Chain A
Amino acid sequence: MNVQIKLSVSTLHLQDCVDWVMAPETGGIDVFVGTVRNATRGRAVIRLEFEAYEKMAVSEMEKIAQQALAKWPVQKILIHHRTGGLQIGEIPVIIAVAAAHRDAAFDACRYIIDTLKQTVPIWKKEIFEDGEVWVAAHP
Chain B
Amino acid sequence: MEQQLDFLVDKVVAELQKKLGEATEQAPSPKAETGGLIQLRSEPKAEPVASATTAPTQAPVANEQPAPSAEPERTTHVPNPKYKEGLDELLSSTPARIGVWRTGVRPLTKTMLELRRDHAAAVDAVYGEVSQAVLDQYSLFTVETQYDNTENYLKRPDMGRVLTEEGVRLLQERCQKKPQVQIVVSDGLSAAAVDANLKDVLPSLMDSLKSYGLTCGTPFFIQGGRVASMDHVGEILEPEVLVLLIGERPGLVTAHSMSAYMCYRPRKGMVESERTVISNIHRQGTSPVEAGAHIGTILSKMLEQKASGVKLVL
Partners in one complex: no
Residues of B within 8 A of A (CB): none
Residues of A within 8 A of B (CB): none
